Amino acid sequence: MRLLGSTGWGHLLVALAALWLAPAGASAQGAGIHTQSGCMTGRNGAGVAHPCQDGSAVYYNPAALVRENGAVSFGVTVIDQAGSFVHDTTGTEVTRVPGSMIVPHGWATYRLSERIGLGLGVWQPYGLSVDWPVCPPEQPRCGTGFEGRFAGYAHSLRGVYLQPTIAYDVIPGRLSIGVGVDLVKGDIEIRRRLDLAEQTTGPFTFSQLGIAQGTDFADVRIAGDGWGVTGHVGALFRVSNGISVGARYLHSVELALDGTADFTQVPTFLTVGPLGTIFPTTMSLDDFIAASGVFEPGGVASDQDFSTSITLPAQAVAGIALQLDPTLRVLLDYQWTQWSQWDQADVDFGVALDERLILDFEDAGTVRFGVDYALSDRVTVRGGFTLAEAAARDASVSPFLPDSERALFGGGMSYRASERLSLDVVAMTMNAASRRGRLVRRESIDETAEQLNGGLYSSDGQLFGATVTYHFGGTR
């Protein structure tokens, strides 16, 4: 067994720290991301009963660390997601702002003894990034802006986990368990426009003064972050030489997020008045708004602090791996994710009125099936598919997260360049069901999908990934 020298560990920690800070975001079910290894993603993430030997067992099953030797790996998954919304009434289609998201991962494992394995991983099991187009400030009624921009037009959420892990072979060669402690950093960013029609001036709303619904007058960026701690356990049981079963449970973590809400006035370029004492003469509406002081320090739309909390849900996975012959392995997993912990989030603003974001998700399952087939000592090909239930209830499909039932297909290949070095590449495609959703904020849990939903969200995507692994300490 070989070790990295102390300098090697130092480089590793620096690299992990860099990954920790890298931007990312994508979603497979709800805001879940399961593409944390080129090898595992080639199997569509199946393999809790037999994780790949690239260190990703820290996530896919901590107990498997006693089944592999040392490895250090780094990789990224690039996710291209596209989506659109078609309005029921107008038939107008708005397309999401295209963009690629990069989800990095990094793993390190070390076999301390025959019965003890250690590991350290940094990865991002939760995240999302959804951008919808809005009109530029100089052309506020361009006609192509996303109508749901007042609920939100750009969202990102990220939960990055750093997990030191230990695994122990309880019954040598048969049963092992693994435990990890997760230090979780979460951050969130929400951008949305504010609708002047809903605001008040004196005893009146601007809507009563004739201002049309959907009149942008401010852009707000809410961004914050926070930390939390949780735990991860796994178990692996080798039934026979060809059959293994495994399970893992990653506990939920509540993140207290603090940050700032930055407001910027968006010009309306509207002229109003004369209208009684409210607009005594013909005047610029923008001047009227600016003169009201809402954007001045202490005003409701002044830059201010905010705080909220969000729970990254628990997830449990169980599965089986069958080694059909020396070159062929099939894997089947079922994952349950406790999305019902995404129920609501209370947002406390320093000056503006506090808000309650109603998420109202429900627990959802995912089935993953994968196949490994070794073409030679150096090359293994992989493939499989994933079927994921939707985590969002019918009334919860929103611009924030237009979640739906989805299927992913993909395959990958491992190439063992040398005894020490291997490369995994993967490509997947996602077919998400088009699903009816809303454009507006949900004000009450009693509001139904029939009352709220106004059109159809569609999305699809492609995913490409690669992981480079440095193996040390031999091969098991």
Query: Distance of CA 460 to CAs 155, 303, 337, 457, Å?
Result: 18, 36, 22, 10
* Smallest separation, CB 436 to other proteins (Å): 5
One of 21, 421, 433, 445 touching other proteins (CB under 8 A): 433
**Minimum CB distance to other proteins smaller for 88 or for 258:** 88
Tokens for 94? 């708005």
One of 144, 208, 344, 451 touching other proteins (CB under 8 A): 208
The residues with which 162 forms a beta bridge, in sequence order, are 122, 183
Q: Is 434 in the site for other proteins (CB under 8 A)?
A: yes
**Minimum CB distance to other proteins smaller for 347 or for 401:** 401
One of 81, 244, 268, 335 touching other proteins (CB under 8 A): 268
Question: Phi/psi at 44 (nearest 5 deg)?
Answer: 60, 30
* Smallest separation, CB 371 to other proteins (Å): 5
* Smallest separation, CB 214 to other proteins (Å): 8
Residue 274: count other Cβ atoms within 10 Å of its Cβ: 11
* Smallest separation, CB 90 to other proteins (Å): 5
Q: Is 13 in the site for other proteins (CB under 8 A)?
A: no
Q: Are 449 and 403 spatial neighbours (Cβ–Cβ below 8 Å)?
A: no
One of 1, 3, 90, 415 touching other proteins (CB under 8 A): 90
Q: Is 462 in the site for other proteins (CB under 8 A)?
A: no
Q: Are 148 and 441 spatial neighbours (Cβ–Cβ below 8 Å)?
A: no
**Minimum CB distance to other proteins smaller for 8 or for 214:** 214
Q: How many residues bind other proteins (CB under 8 A)?
A: 59
One of 125, 180, 228, 455 touching other proteins (CB under 8 A): 455
Tokens for 119? 């590991």
Q: Is 289 in the site for other proteins (CB under 8 A)?
A: no
Q: Is 91 in the site for other proteins (CB under 8 A)?
A: yes
Q: Is 205 in the site for other proteins (CB under 8 A)?
A: yes
Contact partners, residue 212, CB within 8 Å, separation at least 6 = 197
Options 102-110, 197-205, 242-250, 309-317: segment touching other proteins (CB under 8 A):
197-205
Contact partners, residue 321, CB within 8 Å, separation at least 6 = 47, 49, 50, 243, 244, 245, 246, 329, 330, 331
Subset of residues 68 to 87 that bind other proteins, contact rule: CB under 8 A: 86-87
* Smallest separation, CB 418 to other proteins (Å): 26
* Smallest separation, CB 149 to other proteins (Å): 14
The residues with which 443 forms a beta bridge, in sequence order, are none
Q: Is 328 in the site for other proteins (CB under 8 A)?
A: yes
Options 120-128, 160-168, 341-349, 366-374: segment touching other proteins (CB under 8 A):
366-374
Q: Which residues bind other proteins (CB under 8 A)?
A: 86-92, 141, 143, 197, 204-215, 268, 270-276, 279, 282, 285, 324-325, 327-328, 330, 369, 371, 373, 383-385, 387, 405-407, 409, 431-436, 453, 455-456, 458
